[in-house]
Structure 1
């Protein structure tokens, strides 16, 4: 497994988590993991390097999103699967309406995708489009709160309280919140997930 990002702080956090998992014996036997810093538009990997790729909340940050999609296509082996997530249209539109700082800050989101637009760009890159679903409905209100009180106002009581609930839910996964999120995901899931496949043969894109 390789964690790839441009942010050194995020990569350091991932490396610390991986180290802790090894120390606690939580990593699968024989599993190997590394962190690599780099640019999504010019990844330091050979063609067809990976069987699976997860592009989680990346493309909404990139002015040249289709160039990054082409890089993802290049490093995925023929027949390989990728899972691509971006913010869902409705929750993201509300965030933009509530706070200009949310999307104008350096490194912020530069576009709001519809699922159809995301799928069309991935298909134009050469991917075969597979199933999709929405996720993280309970996270959407947290970001609406953050946008309403100020994206950088992490100490606001309401934002702090909701964040504690999300952490608690992540650690304990109680059945009521899991059922609630499953029911709410199609309506207000914070993210949309699209699964794609690189054709097994060159030129075979459906």
Structure 2
């Protein structure tokens, strides 16, 4: 979902190049050692973080990890940046770029988790290749993730969830966790779940939240 343009967001992003990488050259890998104080920390990436509630909460709760918010929309990047600055999160970087180039911006096997939260379902068949769980995206995630790396996916869209299960299964992925009603799972699962803005909205309306964790197994 496209956010309404906020002029202040562009200005804020331009004022903080130390926190936001804006439209980098996809032919050049990013040197993340210059962006994080400790590059040895595990790296986790959220693709399409929207307003950033999930990724900023994760960065706050897990200072032992590094996080990258990969977001195409400048307004969303600005909103995330505002939260990052307010919460003082040195372990969070914002990458304003197209997720289709994710394998261009990270070294091979450098991340341990990729989060796909409430992605655009692109319901029309002719738009299948734009879905973030389409096979070409899965191939790119496999390149970026470590051998034991994992994709964690959440959505309120039953059609996208069914499609993603089939797409990942056809790609040969292994499922560690699958649920069609996340918010009615066991307490230990709920305790570790960090809600997104959309998740809170949809769940409060009584809509089920679908979720899965999957990996690529041994390469």
TM-score w.r.t. length of structure 2? 0.50
Q: Please report the RMSD computed on the Cα atoms of aligned residues, expressed in angstroms.
A: 2.8
After the TM superposition, which residues 44-123 of structure 1 pair with which residues of structure 2 at under 5 Å, given as runs?
Answer: 44-58=105-119, 60-61=121-122, 63-64=128-129, 65=131, 66=134, 67-89=136-158, 112-115=159-162, 117-123=163-169
Question: Whole-Å Cα distance in 1 between the matches of residues 150 and 164 of structure 2?
Answer: 16
Shift of 1:135: 4.3
- Residues paired across the two proteins, number: 126
* Cα distance change, pair 114–72 in 1 and its aligned pair in 2 (3 A): same
Who is 1:39 aligned against?
98
Task: Give secondary structure in 2 for the equivalent of 1:42.
Answer: helix
Whose radius of gyration is greater, 1 or 2?
1
After the TM superposition, which residues 145-164 of structure 1 pair with which residues of structure 2 at under 5 Å, given as runs?
Answer: none
* Cα distance change, pair 195–135 in 1 and its aligned pair in 2 (3 A): same
Runs of 4+ in 1 over 3 A off after TM superposition: none
TM-score w.r.t. length of structure 1? 0.52
Shift of 1:50: 0.6
Choose between structure 1 and 2: higher helix proportion: 1
Unpaired segments of 5 or more residues in structure 1?
90-111, 138-166, 171-180
Unpaired segments of 5 or more residues in structure 2?
1-66, 185-196
Question: Whole-Å Cα distance in 2 between the matches of residues 125 and 5 of structure 1?
Answer: 25
